[in-house]
Structure formats: structure tokens, C-alpha cells
Amino acid sequence: MLQIFGNVAWIFSLMFSCVCLHAAWAQDRSYGRSMVVTDRGIVATSHFLASQAGAQVLAHGGSAMDAAIAANAVLGVTEPMMNGIGGDLFLLYWDAKNGKLYGLNASGWAPQGLTIAFLNKQGVTSMPEDGIHSVTVPGAVDGWAKAHQRFGRLAWKDLFAPAIYYAENGYAVPEIIHDFWIMGRDRLKQTSEAERVFLLRGKTPEVGEKFSNPDLGKTLRLLADKGPGEFYRGEIAHAILKTSASLGGTMHAGDLAEFSSEWVDPISIDYRGWKVYELPPNGQGMAALEMLNIMAASQPDRQGPLAAVELHKKIEAMKLAYSDLYRYNGDPRFASIPVRGLLSKEYAEQRAALIDPQKTNCAAASGTPAKSDTTYLAVVDKDGNIASLIQSVYDYFGSGVAVSGMGFLLQDRGALFVLDPKHPDALAPHKRPFHTIIPAFMERGDEHIGFGIMGGSNQPLAHAQFVSDVADYGWNIQAALSAPRFTIRDTGEPIKCTILIESRVAPEVQTQLRKQGHELVLRKEYSAFMGRGQAVLHNSKTGTNFGASDPRADGAAEPEPIPLQ
């Protein structure tokens, strides 16, 4: 009885604190920007020009999917180190009319000739991190095509006008993208074509300097006018194959022509009354869900999400979930992956019992964390349809291989294969590698949220922190995106005790975490190392939409403008 009374008292205490916080936040709050609130559509991306382009598509009668494709195409122009048509794509799409969530895996496979034996003959003992042998077939364009066929309203060719404009006429480079450009410039010097296209007189563009990519403009026009088949069987395909052959690559016409993205069933768990969805392997979404399951084994701390007790629990839950991720994840067409067992409540309770509330476990995780540079966007239209879309060329500027005369880079997603034939993620012909990029979705009653937070290994743990802020503490989506976060290093080393954390976390909390054995590396107040997120929420009862954009990026949540009379 005392236990029941204690739980009830705790619940009322938490409810009271949330009510008081919400009442005070409008005038005195801990996050810097307000949500966008409208009964029309919203496009939230990491670049304001892409958000604006998507919002304009909505204003012309486009669906959430149309706007997502248009925005993504612009991001391929304005964030070339992060994404583009040479990369892969994953999508969760909520159809408001039938209340169903759809999943799309548009990740490409390894070329038929790229095998462990082929690399071993060349003296290669681990997967290359860049160059032509790190390249897998790009899946993004086919993903756009399949999603547009199912959920689009506007003509395919009309979706690319903004991207073509910025490619041909240029755009002013913003702050954070400028910094990422500098971080990736050495990779651009691996091929003369990449250096020619993406460096201005051998240098990265300055903040505010205009950058254009007329070759990409030409490619986008081909894609718009002739359709997605042009990428896999037409002039663009021929340029990809010619580039690969010139560098000793293994890609052949069949690798491109036979590729098809795949509609898949999302995986999900129940967390504190919310249903949280991710995509199944070969992505790492199952780690976010397992982490949440482990967190659910105990009540959220009364002092809030940034208390030492709560942060310690999340960090330790992350290590346990990631150890399973790196052991089991792979392409389910080639390996048996125990997703159901990993996401069972019983298994989560077993894993949660391993957490010592007093000290950290530096040996919980195994495997090699993966790094990634990615673009995520979220769109909701006025009908309530939601596109949660993520797209990437993987590392900064992908493989460093630019397709001759076409203005885009090929991804290096093959770097995440391993050369151990017994591993679930072993390299094999027409196999998809481990993928870091994951879109997400959560719903409870009338509230439906599409969200994602980019950044390689950061993504599952950032998703779990976002979900907890919303579900455990009642924070709105902008507060949850803006809140201080922790993450892990993307160094290629096993996850141990080193945690990157933003300096907005209270000094006394940092001190307590260090006493428990966490090795904290402080970053600035808003660090892109924590990922760059976007979120939209649709309330199906009121018809109101909400949008949020992470202050760690150059983006914005842009509302659909009213039609000009």
C-alpha cells in the first residue's frame, strides 16, 4: 500500500511540476525559439532554403511527400557534404486518411563484383572508408520515385525547380554548413573532379559566399524531364559507370538497373503510453527502441531529464542497447536478426538489471561505432500527412568520388561492411550494409509526431532522449529538440565511458556523473556533435500542426504560406 501511495504521489508531483513549468515557459523558458503553429502545412529541415522550397510546394497543392522530395533535392544542393542523389534514403510516412504508417528502405546494395575475395586479392584487409571501393548503389532517387508514386500529388518534374534554381544560380553558404565544408575538404582532394566541383579556386567557400553547381543543375534537369529511370538506366547511369570504371571500380549496369527500394513494416514499442516507431534493420532504429525499453524499467527521475540520476540511467541504457546493435545488425535478407527478442520487455528488464545506479560500466558495449553525415527533414501537410525522411552520403562528402560531369558525389556507405565472412554485416554482392540513418515517428491518441536527429551513432540515443523529454516530462517538440544532450564519440573505438555532453548541463550534475565514472568531454552550449534534429506534430482532433527545428543547424520550420490572391 505504501508503495502504491508513493507511486501516486510521485505522479501527482510530476504532473504539478510539468503544469508549473508549462505556465512559466511562455515568459521564462530554457529553449530559445518557439514552435511554428498553424492549421496549414510545415516543412522543417536543416537549411532554411530547403524548408522554404518545401513550404512553397505545399502552397501549390503538394502533399507532404511532394514537399519532402522538393526539400530533399534542395538539401542535396545546399548541403553537398551531407546528402544528395548519390546517397541513400529511409522514410516513414503517416497517411492521415487511413491512419497507417508506411516504411520505405531505399538503401543501396554492394556491386556484384565487390566481394571479400576481390578486396583480399588487392591486399585490402578492412573495408575502405573512402574511394571507389567504398561506393554502394545510391538508393535515394528510387526512394523518391516509389514514395512519389504512392503519395505524391504534383507532377514529378515540378518538384525539382527550386533545387535546379539554386544549383544553377547559386546560394549564400551559411555558418554551420561552412564549418562542415572545412571538415570534409581533404576528402574532396582525392579526385580532381570532386575538387573542381566543390572547392572554389582550391578553397572552401566562405560564410556568405555564393556557391553554384551548374553540373548538378544539368543532372537535376535530366532527372526532372526524363524521370527517375534516367538515374539507373540512362545518361546519369552511364556517367556513374564510366566514373567507376576509370577508378578501377566494380559497378556494372546491372547493379544500377536491377536495384529497387523496398516497402517495409516499421518496428515499434510502447513507451509510457506513446507508441514509438523506427524502421527495421539494416538500420540502427532497433537500438533506440531497446534503449527506451531499458529506460522504461524504472520511473523517470523527479528532478527532470538533466538530473544526474536520469542522465546516468540513459547513458548506461545506451551502452547496453548499442552492444546488441553492433553484434546483431545487418541486412535481414542475408542474416537472421533477432529483432523481436531484442525488443521484448522481458529482455529489457534483464538488461536494465545490469545497470549499477552508483557507477558506470565501461565494459558494457562492444563493436565499432559508425560515423555519418546526414540530412533529416520532417513535413506535415494541412491534411495531417507526415513525412519523416532521412538521407545521406554517409561521411563528409561521401566517398570523395564525384561523378564526371554530373556535379554529385557517390556515397561511401560500403565502409560499414566488414570483411569477416561470419559477421552479420559481412560484405556480399547485392547486400545492403549496416546503416546509421534512421527516421522516427511516435503517436499517442490524437497526437502524431514525425521526428529525427542526425549524426551517425548519435541517432538512436538522441531519439531516446527526445522521446523521453516528450513522454516522461511533457515537453513540447521544440523544447525537446533544443534541450541539452549527451552523445558518444564517432572515433571508430568501442563505446566505453567517454561521453560528450553540452555545457548547459549543470556543473553539479557534471560533477556527480564524473564521480560515477563517466569521462565527460564538454562541448559548447549548442553542439552539432549532438545531432541536428527536426520535428513536426499533427493533432488530428484539432487539425493543428506544430513544427520545430534544431538550433544546432542552419535550418527552420517553415509554415506553408497562404496563396496570393
Q: Which active-site residues does the annotation give? A: 374
Altogether, the residues listed in the chain come to a count of 565
C-alpha 428/C-alpha 113 separation (Å) is 9
Q: How far is CA 204 from each of CA 67, 178, 219, 355, 407, rounded to the nearest angstrom? A: 30, 8, 23, 46, 16
Is 439 in contact with 452 (CB distance < 8 Å)?
A: yes
Q: Is 249 helix (H, G, I), strand (E, B) or coil?
A: coil
Minimal CA–CA distance to 556: which of 50, 122, 31, 4? 50
Is 491 in contact with 129 (CB distance < 8 Å)?
A: no
SS3 assignment for 355-424? CCCCCCCCCCCCCCCCCCEEEEEEEECCCCCEEEEEEEEECCCCCCCECCCCCCECCCHHHHCECCCCCC
Is 251 in contact with 239 (CB distance < 8 Å)?
A: no
- Kindly state the cell numbers that stand for 224: 526532372
The phi-psi region of residue 228 (left if phi > 0; otherwise alpha if psi is between -120 and 50; otherwise beta) is alpha
| E strand intervals along 176-320 | 210-211, 262-264, 267-271, 274-278
Sheet (strand 267-271) strand order: 36-38, 545-549, 533-539, 447-453, 440-444, 274-278, 267-271
How do 545-549 and 36-38 pair as beta strands? antiparallel
CA atoms within 13 A on the CB side of 483: 27
Q: How far is CA 444 from each of CA 188, 378, 382, 559, rounded to the nearest angstrom? A: 45, 18, 19, 24
- Kindly state the cell numbers that stand for 151: 503519395
Note every long-range contact of 6-12, with CB atoms under 8 Å and residues 24 or more positions apart, other chains counting. 7/299, 10/299, 10/302
